[in-house]
Amino acid sequence: MAKSPRRAVITDASGLPDKPYFKIGEAARLCGVKPYVLRYWETEFKSVKPQKTRSQQRLYRKRDVELLLKIRHLLYDKRFTIEGARSRLRELGHDEGPVPVPKPAASDVSPETLRKIKQGLADLIRICAD
């Protein structure tokens, strides 16, 4: 049985395949991590912003994959923390401000309702203690 010939992958100077976009599985394989790691890095590093198709499939550009490789190197090889890697990327000229923390939702519960809940819980604790 003859083996089917494998297609040669043409790469550029950086060693990445010579194509404009990479799906998340391809980018993950090139970086040596699982796809969920790339999705997590998107939440931690502002510079990681893949384009998305209409069906919300992530498409990473070559420069995105190069940035992911830098992040992987900082986290896995140099043993930086996430914050340390952010700082280092900032030094290298990437837009890495602090990750915004979502504000808690405004409460629509009145102070009177909260007082009644607190009293009810205190009564429940007293009943259970008896």
- Give residue 21's identity as a one-letter amino acid code: Y
CA atoms within 13 A on the CB side of 67: 23
Name, in order, each residue with C-beta under 8 angstroms of 104's C-beta and a sequence gap of 6 or more. Answer: none
CA 21/CA 15 separation, integer angstroms: 15
pLDDT of res. 37: 97
pLDDT of res. 10: 53
CA 27/CA 64 separation, integer angstroms: 9
> Mind listing the pLDDT tens digit of every residue in the chain (130 residues)?
555 555 545 555 567 888 989 999 999 999 999 999 999 999 999 999 999 999 999 999 999 999 999 999 999 999 999 999 999 999 988 876 655 566 766 667 788 888 999 999 999 899 998 7
Quote the pTM value.
0.65
- Quote the radius of gyration of the chain (alpha carbons, Å): 24
Q: Where are the alpha helices (DSSP H) in the chain?
A: 24-31, 35-44, 62-72, 82-91, 111-129
pLDDT of res. 8: 46
